[in-house]
Structure formats: C-alpha cells, structure tokens
Amino acid sequence: MQRTATAVWTGSLKEGNGKISTPGSGVLNDAPYSFLTRFENGKGTNPEELIGAAHAACFAMALSAQLSTMNFTPERIQTQATVSLEKLDAGWTISKIHLDLNARIPGITQAAFESAAASAKVNCPVSRLFKADITLTTVLEQAA
C-alpha cells in the first residue's frame, strides 16, 4: 500500500510560499504553507502540524487495534500530538513528539490501559517512521 502527497514551493524561504495536496484522497488540495505558518502565526499549515496529525491519528488506530486483541472496545480515543521543532547545533530539528491520550474504554483497568497505550506508541507505523530508511530520487528541470 502506498499513499502520496505533494508539496510545491515557489520563491525564497521567507518570502515564498507553498501548497500541499493529497491527490489520492483529495482531502488536502493546495493547502497553503509558508515561513509564516511554520515559524510565526500565518494562516495555513506546516510540516510539523501535519506530522502531529498523522501521528495522533495513527496512534489512536494502533491503540484501538491493541485493545481489540485484549477484547476491549473503546468508546472514544482522543490523542493530541505536540511536535517540537528546535534549533539545535545541527540545524532545525524535530526533536520530540509528545502524545497526550484521553480515552473512554469500558471495563479496562488502569494497568491494562497503560500497557495497551505503551504498545500502541511503539507499534504504530508513524512511530516507526522515525526509524525508517528514507530514500530520495531527484530530477533537475531546466529553466525555460
């Protein structure tokens, strides 16, 4: 299974802007992003927000799957991911992601809940992404 997303950037870092799309689902269609949306409070999204949304969603699904193996059905799983972007010696770095979980799961004990959440955190595909092999292909277009 493969999913795609596209990003188009025009202009310099501070004055330029970009658009993000998800052609397969069409959910994002030319969603704006820019220096202002990433480092200040401009209108639009940014890579860290999108990573946070992906991680929160993936974790919630992984937790639901883990609970199913334990014969529990959640009424509600709410996850908030806080992505930290910091300026380190190596440059701007996503240094950590913190997940805040609030769930309603009838009949589960605190210990079982914490065990299921810990398993979901480790086993969610987005959590594993941060250890993944990232490949790159390049094409340089000639100016018209």
140, part of any domain: no
Q: Are residues 124 and 89 in the same domain?
A: yes
The reported pLDDT for the residue numbered 132 is: 63
Q: Are residues 113 and 74 in the same domain?
A: yes
Q: Are residues 70 and 111 in the same domain?
A: yes
Taking the complete model, does pTM exceed 0.85, yes or no? yes
The reported pLDDT for the residue numbered 59 is: 92
CB 94, CB 48: distance < 8 Å? yes
139, part of any domain: no
- The pLDDT of 110-139, averaged and rounded, is 85
Q: Are residues 27 and 68 in the same domain?
A: no
When computed from its CA atoms, the radius of gyration of the chain, rounded to whole angstroms, is 18
> Which amino acid, 125?
P
Q: Are residues 41 and 54 in the same domain?
A: no
The residue assigned the tokens 């310099």 is 12
Strands (E), the chain: 6-10, 17-21, 31-34, 76-88, 91-104
Q: Are residues 26 and 72 in the same domain?
A: no
Q: Which of 11, 26, 45 is the last residue of a domain?
A: 45
Calpha distance 78→60 (Å, rounded)? 7
Calpha distance 7→10 (Å, rounded)? 10
The reported pLDDT for the residue numbered 140 is: 56
The reported pLDDT for the residue numbered 120 is: 92
22, part of any domain: yes
Q: Are residues 24 and 56 in the same domain?
A: no
Domain containing 79 equals 46-130
The residue assigned the tokens 């799309």 is 21
Which tens digit of pLDDT belongs to each residue from 46-94? 999 999 999 999 999 999 999 999 999 999 999 999 998 889 898 988 8
Closest among 6, 117, 131 to 61, alpha carbons compared: 117
Q: Are residues 96 and 61 in the same domain?
A: yes
Q: Are residues 30 and 99 in the same domain?
A: no
The reported pLDDT for the residue numbered 131 is: 72
Residue 71 sits in a domain of what CATH number?
3.30.300.20
- The pLDDT of 96-101, averaged and rounded, is 90
The residue assigned the tokens 């004990």 is 109
The DSSP line for 10-65 is ES-TTT-EEEEE-TTT-SSSSEEEEHHHHHS--SSB-HHHHHHHHHHHHHHHHHHH
Count the domains in the chain. Answer: 2
Q: Are residues 33 and 56 in the same domain?
A: no
